[in-house]
Amino acid sequence: MIYKKYIKRILDFIASLMGLVVLSPVILAVIIFLFIANNGKPFFFQLRPGLNGKIFKIIKFKTMNDKKDENGNLLHDSQRMTVIGNFVRKTSLDEIPQLFNVLVGDMSLIGPRPLLTNYLHLYNDFQNRRHEIKPGITGWAQVNGRNAISWDKKFEYDVWYVDNVSFLLDCKIIFKTILKVIKSDGINAADAVTIEPFDGN
């Protein structure tokens, strides 16, 4: 498909570049506030699998500090979430730096969310199909529940997108993403700051 192979990448590059320029004042403001809240660490970097499982380094705004207990272990997510970090997460501002990942071609604006590298060996053949396309900042699973849905449902949505990607579908996902962000809908799992880890089948 021409859109999937060529046009999607062109639109990604143009949109991410424009987004970084337009949002630069917001990005600068968030960097300053998070620099103060997180002891000089406004960004969060982590290795994630991309197209065909190729590993890349994702960049996000850091919404939790690095406070540890008396044994040197990181405190629970809810205890490390800062006030500004909570605001950045609820408004989905933490996702903005990923525009850099889109700009350089590691990600797309729309696609399955890139998950942790230590999940790779846990996927079955069906689940692993999510890597047949570049991961995205937002995707079909995100606009249909995000962290509030089960892992099985999330994989089902991801693979469905891989098989049905189109310009009109991407437009629909962008529109639904904007509505989700406005409502702060589905950001967290039912009783957690972050979703429960994936433990395989």
Q: What is the pLDDT of residues 16-71, one digit of tens each?
A: 999 999 999 999 999 999 999 888 899 999 999 999 999 999 999 998 887 777 77
- Quote the CA–CA distance of 93 and 112 in Å, as a whole number: 19
Cα of 179 vs its chain's centroid, Å: 17
How much is the pLDDT for 92? 86
Q: What is the CA radius of gyration of the chain?
A: 17
Q: How confident is the model at residue 191 (pLDDT cuts 50, 70, 90)?
A: very low
**SS3 assignment, position 190:** coil
- Is the CB of residue 58 less than 8 Å from the CB of residue 114? yes
- Is the CB of residue 93 less than 8 Å from the CB of residue 61? yes
Structure tokens at 54: 């190729």
Across the strands, what pairs with 58?
A: 46
Across the strands, what pairs with 201?
A: none
Structure tokens at 140: 């079909």
Across the strands, what pairs with 117?
A: none
Structure tokens at 5: 């192979």
**Residue 188 DSSP label:** S
Structure tokens at 93: 């501002």
